[in-house]
Amino acid sequence: MILVTGARGNIGREVVAGLVSNGQAVRAAAFDAAAAKRVSAGVETVHFDFADAKTYGPAVDGVERLFLMRPPQITDMENTLNPFVDFAVKAGVRHIVFVSLLGVEGNPRVPHYAAEQHIERAGVPYTFLRPSFFMQNLNTTHRAEIRERDEIYLPVGRARTSFIDTRDIGAVAAKVLCEDGHDGRAYDLTGGESLDYYQVADIFSEVLGRKITYKDPSSVAFLISTVRHGTPLKFALVMQMLYRSTRNGIADVLTEDVSRLLGRSPRTFRQYVIDYAESWRR
Ligand SMILES: NC(=O)c1ccc[n+]([C@@H]2O[C@H](COP(=O)([O-])OP(=O)(O)OC[C@H]3O[C@@H](n4cnc5c(N)ncnc54)[C@H](OP(=O)(O)O)[C@@H]3O)[C@@H](O)[C@H]2O)c1
């Protein structure tokens, strides 16, 4: 049995689909208790909350392998993800596949760093997936500005990002969970091209058939605008920090790990915009 946390999220739903098509027994953990019942047809589901230890037992019962993801809302590893890892290991989990962050090994300030360290010490085989920025940020976090204002509003200048499609991360995770040979490994997951946001805006304009413009605000203007459009200050500050790193070139890294693991090229940004075009139509 494989437990998938965040099973309704961007990556989690792809992991569930990949495992099911591989014939694996899957248990999908959903935070939203009502939605837990409808993750995917034929998949066992369970209500799960990192902050509520009472939900741990039913989630890990009989589980051998764990797909672990830190929900973006959770920053307190000590009282959430870490106790769950300890509980899972005691309950018999024998392999943990954790979604981390590209460049985490050099950035102790991000929560994923502490999470990796804790998992390394937990005493079971693990695999870290360290993805670059998700293409899917553009149809979630940045959807409204593209759909309603025809703009992409980020303070990164001409810096490049090696965007990855979460469908490819999910496919990598499913593969790593299904086969041997990935213990103790860390994979840097990037797309096959590194783009700046002017190029991103051009791809959007071509595919959607209307002009999308990249605006390059100052970091402070970005923070004010993001909060004004409804993002809580705490998350707006995290976004500001992440985009500051992007501006400094940290997201401009290309690796071969996705093609090596999947035996095909990663999805392109253009293909992503084509596949999700309805998200930005008015
Ligand atoms: N966005 C990026 O560019 C990027 C890049 C690299 C790494 N990452 C990392 O990738 C991870 C995934 O991010 P994401 O934005 O793709 O996530 P996401 O799709 O928003 O999924 C988050 C999931 O967490 C679940 N969840 C929320 N609170 C929970 C709780 N208290 N207990 C248990 N589950 C809970 C939600 O369950 P329900 O659906 O049931 O509510 C949801 O399925 C994060 O750690 C992020 O830092 C992101």
Residue 227, phi-psi category: left (phi > 0), alpha (psi -120 to 50), beta (remainder): alpha
At residue 256, does pLDDT exceed 90?
Answer: yes
**What residues line ligand 1, using a CB cutoff of 6 Å?**
6, 8-12, 30-32, 35, 48-51, 69-74, 99, 101, 131, 133-134, 137
Query: How many other CB atoms sit within 10 Å of the CB of residue 143?
Result: 15
Query: Residue 36: what pLDDT?
Result: 64
Question: In CATH terms, is domain 2-130 a member of 3.30.43.10?
Answer: no
At residue 199, does pLDDT exceed 70?
Answer: yes
Q: What is the mean pLDDT of residues 141-149?
A: 96
186 pLDDT band (50/70/90 cuts)?
A: very high
Query: Residue 235: what pLDDT?
Result: 85
Query: Residue 74: what pLDDT?
Result: 82
Q: How much of the chain exceeds pLDDT 90, in percent?
A: 86
Q: Probe ligand 1: pick from 3, 4, 5, 8, max atoms within 8 Å of CB?
A: 8
CA 192 – ligand 1 centroid, Å: 24
261 pLDDT band (50/70/90 cuts)?
A: very high
Which tens digit of pLDDT belongs to each residue from 24-65?
A: 999 999 998 777 666 677 789 999 999 999 999 999 999 999
What class, spelled out in words, does domain 132-164+191-252+267-277 have in CATH? alpha beta
- What atom of ligand 1 comes closest to residue 5's alpha carbon? 34
C-alpha Rg value of the chain to the nearest Å? 19
Domain ranges of the chain: 2-130, 132-164+191-252+267-277
At residue 148, does pLDDT exceed 80?
Answer: yes
Is residue 176 a contact partner of residue 262, using CB atoms and an 8 Å limit? no
pTM of the model: 0.95
Question: Could you tell me which residue, 198 or 42, shows the higher pLDDT?
Answer: 198
At residue 267, does pLDDT exceed 70?
Answer: yes
3-state secondary structure 137-176: HHHCCCHHHHHHHCEEECCCCCCEECCECHHHHHHHHHHH
**Alpha carbon distance 115, 107 (integer Å):** 12
At residue 264, does pLDDT exceed 70?
Answer: yes
**Alpha carbon distance 193, 268 (integer Å):** 7
Query: Residue 53: what pLDDT?
Result: 96
Q: What is the mean pLDDT of residues 158-175?
A: 98
**Alpha carbon distance 173, 168 (integer Å):** 9
CA 21 – ligand 1 centroid, Å: 23
Which tens digit of pLDDT belongs to each residue from 83-140?
A: 999 999 999 999 999 999 999 998 888 889 999 999 999 999 999 999 999 999 999 9
